[in-house]
Amino acid sequence: MALVVLPVVEQRLDAVRGQAAEPAADRCRLFYLADLSIAETAMVMGCSEGTVKSTLSDARARLRSELEDSG
């Protein structure tokens, strides 16, 4: 199943991505864009699964806040 992203949402995603520290952004890319599992992302990044889960949760919260603020 392909993910369709509207241009305005893509701009907001870019803004949020730009605020993320590189390792955090890389974890998000691997999980969401490369479609790796939590375990695979952790293995590639050399961190724990908990770190990946925490990073993804933080990224979703930032994105949610950004989308709500621009309402």
Report pLDDT for 14.
64
pLDDT band at 1, cuts 50/70/90?
Answer: very low
Q: What is the pLDDT of residues 5-35, one digit of tens each?
A: 556 656 666 665 555 568 888 899 889 888 8
Instruction: Please give the model's pTM, rounded to 2 decimal places.
Output: 0.68
Between 56 and 1, name the one with better pLDDT: 56
Which amino acid makes up residue 51?
Answer: T
Q: Give residue 22's pLDDT.
A: 82
